[in-house]
Amino acid sequence: MNILLLTSGITLDQLSHVIKTFDLSADNQFYFNGRSMDDRNLAEMDIVFGWDAKVMSKLLNMKHARLKWVQAYSAGVDYYPLTQLANRKILLSNVSGIHAEPIAENVLGMILSFYRGLHTAAANQVQQQWQAPNTPLTLASGKQMVIFGTGHIGSRIAELAQAFKIQVIGVNRSGHPVKAFPQTTAMTQVDSDLLKKTDIIVNALPLTPDTKGFYNRDFFKLAANRPLFVSIGRGPSTVTNDLVEALQAGQLGGAALDVTDPEPLPADNPLWTMPNVIITPHISGLYQNYLHDAFAIFAENLHQFKTTGTLAKNEINLKTGY
Selected from 71, 284, 301, 314, the binder of a second copy by CB under 8 A is 284
- Residue 195: closest CA among 144, 150, 236: 144
**Between helices 152-163 and 100-116, what is the axis angle to 10°?**
40
Question: Is position 45 an interface residue for a second copy (rule: CB under 8 A)?
Answer: no
- Within 8 A by CB and 6+ apart from 196, the residues are 222, 223, 224, 225
Q: Which is nearer to a second copy, 164 or 322 (CB)?
A: 164
Q: Is 115 in the site for a second copy (CB under 8 A)?
A: yes
Question: Is the distance from CB of 200 to CB of 227 less than 8 angstroms?
Answer: yes
Residue 63 CB, nearest approach to a second copy (Å): 40
What is the per-residue binding string for a second copy in 190-229, x denoting contact by CB under 8 A?
Answer: ----------------------------------------
Q: Is 292 a catalytic residue?
A: no
Residue 162 C-beta: closest distance to a second copy, Å: 8
Give me the amino acid identity at 26. Answer: A
Binding a second copy (rule: CB under 8 A), the pick from 71, 96, 106, 231 is: 106
- Considering only CA atoms, which of 166, 184, 167, 138 is closest in space to residue 276? 138
The answer to the question of residue 185 lying near a second copy (CB under 8 A) is: no
Residue 214 Cβ, how far from a second copy at the closest point, in Å?
23
Q: Which of 282, 292, 300, 315 is catalytic?
A: 282
Site for a second copy in 75-104 (CB under 8 A): 101-102
Say which of 35, 173, 263, 303 is annotated catalytic: 263
Q: Is 234 a catalytic residue?
A: yes
Decide if residue 141 touches a second copy (CB under 8 A): yes
Letters for 225-264 (x = contact with a second copy by CB under 8 A, - = none) are --------------------------------------xx
Active site residue 263: yes
Complex with a second copy: residue 16 or 138, whichever CB lies closer: 138
When asked if residue 164 is in the footprint of a second copy (CB under 8 A), the reply is yes
Q: Does 126 bind a second copy (CB under 8 A)?
A: yes
The mark string for 262-281 relative to a second copy (x by CB under 8 A, - otherwise) is -xxx-xx---xx----xxxx
Dihedral in degrees, nearest 10, Cα atoms 235, 240, 242, 248: 120
- By annotation, the residues acting in catalysis are 234, 263, 282
Residues that bind a second copy (CB under 8 A): 101-102, 105-106, 108-110, 112-113, 115-119, 121-126, 128-133, 136-141, 159-160, 163-164, 263-265, 267-268, 272-273, 278-281, 283-284, 286-288
